[in-house]
Chain A
């Protein structure tokens, strides 16, 4: 699986996320890459509850809260931690290397 360069290491501020389009990854959904503290995570961007971009959600304490209805997902495992979503979000591996953030689309994050 080819890695995709997301951005430079400090381009994302703490709590920020960016959506990487399917064109760039070959994945079926856009992929949201999050920075929480000094850690980076990636989940399918579309909230499994309703059409909303998780990259526009609130990132805090290892979780992202969906912008629409406050479903929350664990950034590392994709697991739902708060209703109304009932399906977990799909994770993707992220690595920081050579001053850049790299995404491995379709490779589950090792939690």
Chain B
């Protein structure tokens, strides 16, 4: 028995970790196309741009200690029946189980930068000098975090996004309004427009604005890296289609992280999903029964403020506010039929930790209780 993981990002490393933690003692190989030890991507738009070193996912020596082989190579074809993966350099790797953790690729345009890999972040960092004019196209997680970091570095930043409330469908209008307001408060210009054309350091926006930009960064989404799965004849539709245990249509092949989409659901691109889906796949590979799902969770950091979301935003749910999100210190709970289905908070991590458990354990809640800061959320989930 052996496992070959195609990819070397968080989903790949989490797969290897979960397998070893689960007692798997056969060979594990990770093959990624970046020439370095696996690192954490979220800091690339934040701490890394501010000059900090890349964050290793595991300390030096961990892979040797865990008998996990990490090699560099670009996988070009997959033969599921044989469990074989061919690399661009002609090497053929074989394993009993193949886990696709190939991630996603940012949408690009000539003349613009993107940031997903360390190399891309290094190029961006080298160009974000004080006074540099940065145009960020797209005000979502990547765009807004990069804009905030660049602003902190002394760049003159403009964000173009046709949506006045980016992320509203993910976090609800209250938190989205807070996030959108941060840019203006910091002195970052926001244009309600798309990028029309860019060339030679000039950009034309769809609202007619023309501006000079030393750097143009695109944060307008990613495409899942499904080519390998598709070439092997596995079903692909905005991601490699998997069941709830991350199994593809072929019994030898799993998919985890950004590249995977559970049939009937939307594909998820968050860090936490990468880790959790890896854990789910590892349990399936080990022949263990699945654990209960936890409410999804993600965070974003910008302008020194920390936002977290757990569960899902449901427009039909009642929005119950504790504290004040608008003032940068509050939580909004989304309550439906006496149950919390989601929660979003600014600088209130403990509220989110409580909310995640309230959601997971289906604890009955009332708007009155949640809104009253005198009531302990912890008491709802720690009845001792």
Contacts and interface: CB of A to CB of B under 8 A. Distances in A.
B17 interface: yes
A83 B17 CA distance: 10
B272 A70 contact: yes
Given A83-B17, A84-B40, A68 B349 contact: yes
A37 B384 contact: yes
Contacts of A9: none
B353 A83 contact: no
B382 A86 contact: no
B299 interface: yes
Contacts of B58: 86
Contacts of A68: 299, 306, 349
B95 to A, nearest CB: 23
B350 interface: yes
A42 B269 CA distance: 36
A67 B40 contact: no
B23 to A, nearest CB: 16
A84 B58 CA distance: 9
Interface in A50-70: 50, 56-58, 60, 65, 67-70
The majority secondary structure among interface residues of chain A is loop
Interface string A67-100: 1111000000000000110110000000000000
Interface string B366-384: 0000000000001000101
The range of chain A's interface size is 10 to 19
B57 A83 contact: yes
A69 B378 CA distance: 19
Contact of B353 (A37, A58, A84): A58
A15 B350 CA distance: 12
Nearest to B13: A83
A41 B17 CA distance: 27
A83 B14 CA distance: 8
Contact of A15 (B47, B271, B272, B382): B382
B275 A56 contact: no
A62 to B, nearest CB: 13
Interface string B47-58: 100000001111
A46 to B, nearest CB: 15
Contacts of A56: 349-350
A87 B59 contact: yes
Contact of A86 (B59, B275, B299, B354): B59
Contact of A58 (B55, B56, B299, B350): B350
Interface string B219-257: 000000000000000000000000000000000000000
B299 A69 contact: yes
Nearest to A84: B40
A67 B353 CA distance: 8
Contacts of B353: 58, 65, 67
Contacts of B299: 68-69
A86 B272 CA distance: 16
Given A83-B57, A84-B57, A86-B57, A70 B297 contact: yes
28 contacts: A14-B382, A14-B384, A15-B378, A37-B384, A56-B349, A56-B350, A57-B350, A58-B350, A58-B353, A60-B382, A65-B353, A67-B349, A67-B350, A67-B353, A68-B349, A69-B299, A70-B272, A70-B297, A83-B13, A83-B17, A83-B275, A84-B40, A84-B55, A84-B57, A86-B57, A86-B58, A86-B59, A86-B62
Interface of B: 10, 13-14, 17, 40, 47, 55-59, 62, 271-272, 275, 297, 299, 306, 349-350, 353-354, 378, 382, 384
Given A15-B382, A84-B271, 14 more contacts: A15-B378, A37-B384, A57-B350, A58-B350, A58-B354, A65-B353, A67-B349, A67-B353, A70-B272, A83-B14, A83-B57, A84-B57, A86-B56, A86-B59
Nearest 4 A-B pairs (CB), nearest first?
A67-B349, A58-B353, A86-B59, A86-B58
